[in-house]
Amino acid sequence: MSDFQPRIVVFACNWCSYAGADLAGVSRMQYPPTTRVIRVMCSGRVTPGFILEALRLGADGVLVTGCHPGDCHYISGNENAVATVEKTAQLLGLLGLEGARLRLEWISAAEGARFARIMTEFTGQIRALGPNPLGVSATQDAPLAGLESPSPQIVALDRS
Binding site for ligand FES (CB under 6 A): 13, 15-16, 42-44, 66-67, 72-74, 77-78
Residues 6+ apart with CB under 8 A from 159: none
* Cβ 102 to ligand FES shortest distance, Å: 17
Name which of 40 and 57 has its Cβ closer to ligand FES.
40
Name which of 6 and 77 has its Cβ closer to ligand FES.
77
Name which of 13 and 57 has its Cβ closer to ligand FES.
13
Secondary structure of 15-50 in the HEC alphabet?
CCHHHHHHHHHHCCCCCCCCEEEEEECCHHHCCHHH
* Cβ 50 to ligand FES shortest distance, Å: 14
Give 34: exposed, middle or buried? Use CB within 10 Å, 0-12, 13-18, 19+: middle
* Cβ 16 to ligand FES shortest distance, Å: 5
